Every structure is written in C-alpha cells, then in structure tokens.
Structure 1
Amino acid sequence: MADEKQKAAPEKDTSAIKKVLSTKSLGLIKAWEESEKTKVDNKTNKKLSNVVAWELSKQAYIDARQKKFERKLERKKAMYVEKMQNKVAEIHKKADEKRAMVEDVKEEERTKVEEKADKFREIGHVPKKILCFNF
C-alpha cells in the first residue's frame, strides 16, 4: 500500500505541476493574444489615421481649386457685366442721338411747313391737299 501511496503522490504532484504549467501557459497565451490584438489595433488605427490625413489633404486640394475657379469665374462675370453695361450705355447714347436726329428732322419739316404756310398766306392761295377740311 505504501507503494500505491507513493505512486499516487507523484501522480498528484505531476498533475498539479501540469495544472500549474497549464494555468501558466494559459496566462502566457492570453497575454500573447492581448499583445497581438493590441498590435493589430494600433496598426489599424495608424492606417485609419493615414486614410483620414489623405482624405483631408485631397479635400483641401479640391477646395483650393474650387475657390480658385470661383474667383476666376467671378472676375469673368465682373468683366462680362462691365462689358454689358458698356453696351447698354452705348445703346442709350445711340438712342439719344437717334432721338435728337428725329427731333431735328421734325423741326426741319415743321419749319418747311411754316414757310410754305407763310408763302400761301402771301399769295392768298389755299393748298390743294387739306387733310381735315373739305371746302
């Protein structure tokens, strides 16, 4: 029986050692797992940061180009508006000149009519074409 107790004791010792080693191994494995997960998380965060930085730089570039084009379009628009205003002013000037010419022609024709009327009065002759009156 003593032999059996001696055999049982080493088996208990071995199983206890195995249990301790197993627990220690499990702890080491868990620590390794956490370490690897942390590495993966850090690596992913770094890549995500790079993506965000890339996106922001591209967006800033596009925004700068857009503002440049907007300024260019605003200058073109201002030039076009000025050009159209000049054309409107030119049209207004020509219209004034044409009005003046029409008024001059009107005054000349009225003067001619008055001169003819004066001649008819001097002669005592009635014009043949009278629009409003028929004698």
Structure 2
Amino acid sequence: MGEEVSNKTQPELHDQHVVVDSVPPLQEKESDKPDPSNENVASPSPPFQKVEDHPAGKDAEDSVSKDVMLARVLTEKRLALIKAWEESEKTKAENRAYKKHSSVELWEDSKKASIEAELKKIEENLERKKAECVEKMKNKVAEIHRLAEEKRACVDAQKSEEFLEVEETAAKFRSRGVTPRKFFACFSA
C-alpha cells in the first residue's frame, strides 16, 4: 500500500516539473537571479536558522524546492478550479435535465388528460346513443305488442263471427231438419 502512494507521488512531481517549465520566462528569471543589492549583504534570517549551515548550493535547492512548491500550489489551485467548474457544469446539466423531465411530465400529463377527456366524451356519446337505441327498441317492442293485440282482437272477432254463422246455420238446419251437405259429403252419394 505504501508503494502505491510513493509511485503516485513521483509522477505528480514529474508533472509539476513540467508545470515549472511552462511558467513564463520572466518569472523564472526573477526567481533564479539573485538580487544584486543583497549579494554582499547577508539576508536577515530567523533566529533559529544558521547562515553557516546553508552553503550556496543549498540556496539553489531551496529556490528550486520553492519553485516546485509554487508549481504544486498553482497546479492544485488549477485542479481545484477545474473541479469546481466541472461540478458547476454538472449541476447546470442536472438542473437542465430536471427542467426537461418536468416539462416532459407536464406534457405527458396534459396529453393524458386530453385523451381521457376525449374518451369520456366518446363514452358519454355512446351512452346517449345507447339510451336512444334502447328507447327506440322499447318503442318498437311496444308497437309490436300493440299490433299483436290488434291482430288477436281481429282473430277473436273473426272467430266470434264464425261461431255466430255456424250457430245460425245449425239453427236453420235444425229448423228444417236437413243435414248439412258439406259435413257429410264423404257419406253422400
């Protein structure tokens, strides 16, 4: 696990050296050049540092390490800004998607509502037509029943008339004493 961390740290340092190379030349020159007015004068150092311990090579290493640290800070700042920008853009994209989802849901709901209203209207029309048809059929059934009653009445009236005729004819035959010919047609020669 410790090896992985050190391996990851080394490429970062390599990347940071690349960043140091990308620093504009003016900044490198200022940091690399010693200040001419301070060459003869010893720089004031904190009380706990010893000037004798730092040879000229150490100052060069300190300036390089300061450059590396500055490059690292600049890189981290740049990466932090990139990450903040990325998060901001993702949030914007998420908000746009949410708004579009909301508009799609509203569109879907409105279309569903219009379809349901149309379906309800069709159902009402069908119910009205069904009621009209049922009423027509009931009227037809009532008309058929009335006509059947009239026909029955006619049949009953005709039967009554025939009975009267038969009774009158039978009375005539009785009064004359003659038998009807049609009834005994098979017996008469």
Residue type of the alignment partner of 1:60:
A
1:6 Cα deviation (Å)? 1.5
Q: Does residue 12 of the first structure (1) align with residue 30 of the second (2)? A: no
Looking at both structures, which has the greater relative contact order when contacts are Cα pairs under 8 Å and sequence separation is at least 6?
2
Aligned partner of 1:55 in structure 2 is 108
Aligned pairs, how many?
134
> Aligned equivalents of 1:106 and 1:20: distance in 2?
125
Percent of aligned positions with the same letter in both sequences? 51
Q: Runs in 1 of length 4+ with deviation above 6 angstroms?
A: none
Residues 117-128 of structure 1 correspond to what in structure 2 (within 5 A)? 117-128=170-181
Secondary structure of the residue aligned to 1:126 is coil
Over aligned residue pairs, what C-alpha RMSD do you find? 1.6
Aligned partner of 1:92 in structure 2 is 145
Secondary structure of the residue aligned to 1:128 is coil
> Aligned equivalents of 1:80 and 1:114: distance in 2?
50
Residue type of the alignment partner of 2:128:
R
For structure 2, the residue ranges without an aligned partner over 5 or more in a row are 1-53
Which of the pair is proportionally richer in helix? 1
Residue type of the alignment partner of 1:52:
E
Aligned partner of 2:83 in structure 1 is 30
Q: Normalising by structure 1, what TM-score?
A: 0.93
Q: Deviations over 1:58-84 (max 9, x none)?
A: 111111111111111111110111011
Larger Rg, first or second structure (1 or 2): 2
